[in-house]
Amino acid sequence: MNYGFVINNDTCIGCHACSTACKSENSVPLGVQRTWVKSVETGVYPNVRRSFQVTRCNHCANPPCVRICPVTAMYQRHDGIVEFDPDVCIGCKACMQACPYDAIYVDPETHSVAKCHYCAHRVEVGLEPACVIVCPEHAIVAGDLDDPSTEIAQLLASNKTTVRKPEQGTAPKLFYIGGNDAAMHPTATARTPEMFAWSDVIPLHGGEGHGGDGHAAPAPVLKKSSSGTPIRTPGTQGVPSSGPIMIGEGRMAEQMVQVTWNAQHKVPWHWPVPAYLVTKGIATGIFLLLAFGFLLGTFPFTAPAFLGGGLLSIVFTLLTTALLVYDLEHPQRFLRIVFRPQFKSWLVRGAFLLIGFSTVSGLWWVVEAGAALGWLSADLAEAVRAPAFWIGIPLAVGAAIYTAFLFGQAEGRDLWQSSLLPVHLVVQAVFAGAAALLMLGAFVAIDAEVTALARTAFGVALAADVLVTLFGEVWMPHASENAAQAAHAITHGRYRLHFWVGSMLIGHAVPLALLFVAGPVAAFVAGLAAIAGLYAYEHAFVMAPQEVPNS
């Protein structure tokens, strides 16, 4: 048994009956959808053609949403249906990032993820999905792909079909007859601003208005005719307040491709994710610098640097955990990552790396602090120190870079699929940890050798980060259009100020220049600027790929 769908775009009339039936059958709340109809117009007036496309979960044979789910809330049944369990979901939203088709949403009532589940409750009693039953044109066909006697198998054998994004390797089982390229490929249509033929759509980022920042949509722009009568400019919401309706300059529907109707999809991850990347980099970077410096004999153990730096590392590790839990839709269920783990998910692997790192670094610091206060023997602290560093180094590196592999599982965001990302995260951890040690030196009397290592690591890592960022992540050709669009948004689009001003200027140029200025104040400002610039870059890097449409 291997269930799938065939949708005949040549016979679909865009009536939205499937969307309505899906909502009714599955009690789907307003504002989200499991099935929706996208319609696109192509051509130049009057030679315009409208095509429809029913969009939903593809029930992939190789579903990335299942692999990335940390608690098996998203799973694949023996009959090929990709199902979900809302009572198990912790609301990490990783499956939404893994889906290249925008098919998964967060239910606003249960706060768990949901999607098309092939009306499994109907299939199990011998009925067809609700969308199949209600379609007036029989444009949606469901059934067993492996049984040659079924209608769906015969349609696949006798028609030329296509699937969406085959390059992702998900092996989707939603096949289209007569798939129109303009509708099949989300980036085929320019959406600047986000204007549809029937409405101006403002993408929701968790808040109201463009980008979730609470800003209202811009006011309609009206032009006037030669007689002074207001006219409606194509692409605006305005209508004349008086006088006859007139056509503005140019031809109506003069664009070659125009989306006329589609569904909105909210951006899943927001500021806590870039913030957690920064705090994780600081925590692991501090430990790595102290551990390597001691083990290589660069400097001896000194209580102010090691106890102060170790405490900072622990604090930022706790902040990292707090941000991860805060970003969950079900924060009370976060321990399921530990007690109900799905080990293919890098969320789970990363959680155990963080637990291992925080345990080793925490126990080491407690022993050192106990010895400094006279509660424990100095011999015990000395005996624990080197083994703790040797064990902690690989755990710190793993905790620093595991996000690269998590982003690699997010197959819906092509910019994140970078083989340089593990190296990039290590470089960021080094300069973030060094920045924290330099800032600590403004308040604690740190040994000069520790400060010297921190300054050297800070400068080298910052320079390396410029090279990795510009030559590796930005200026190199990208493997897909989605990745190229996201990179363009970072360097020339909406996030250009985050990148050039926040990251390159404040986060790199200013700190590198301040390294030539002696004194703890300059070191503090340099470290603070580098961390602020790191957040600016991470914010752009996390947000930009999420705004490239997948449907």
The CATH number of domain 272-546 is 1.10.730.10: no
CA–CA separation, 48 vs 258, rounded Å? 10
CA–CA separation, 244 vs 260, rounded Å? 25
Strands (E), 256-354: 257-261
Q: Can you list the residues of the chain whose pLDDT is less than 50?
A: 192-193, 204-241, 247, 250-254
Distances (CA, A) of 108 to 99, 191, 489: 19, 27, 29
Q: Which helix (H) or strand (E) holds 455?
A: helix 448-467
pLDDT at 326: 96
Pairing mode of beta strands 257-261, 113-114: unpaired
pLDDT at 189: 66
Q: Which sequence spans correspond to the domains of the chain?
A: 3-188, 272-546
376-400: per-residue pLDDT in tens? 999 999 999 999 999 999 999 999 9
Residues 6+ positions from 283 with CB-CB distance below 8 Å: 312, 313, 314, 315, 316, 317, 319, 320, 357, 399, 433
Q: For residue 221, give the nearest of 243, 196, 248 by alpha carbon.
A: 248
Residue length of the chain: 551
179-207: per-residue pLDDT in tens? 777 778 877 766 544 556 555 555 544 43
- Give, to the nearest 10 degrees, the angle between helix 378-409 and helix 272-295: 140
CA–CA separation, 491 vs 442, rounded Å? 34
Residue 142 pairs in a beta bridge with 5
pLDDT at 216: 36
**How many CB atoms lie under 10 A from the CB of residue 204?**
16
> Does 272-546 match 3-188 at the fold level?
no
pLDDT at 253: 45
Structure-block tokens of residue 73: 């809330």
CB 112 within 8 A of CB 89: yes
CA–CA separation, 163 vs 36, rounded Å? 17
Pairing mode of beta strands 174-177, 161-162: antiparallel
pLDDT at 546: 94
Distances (CA, A) of 518 to 289, 438, 451, 513, 526: 21, 12, 12, 11, 11
Provide the 3-class DSSP secondary structure of residue 156: helix
> CATH topology for 3-188?
Alpha-Beta Plaits (3.30.70)
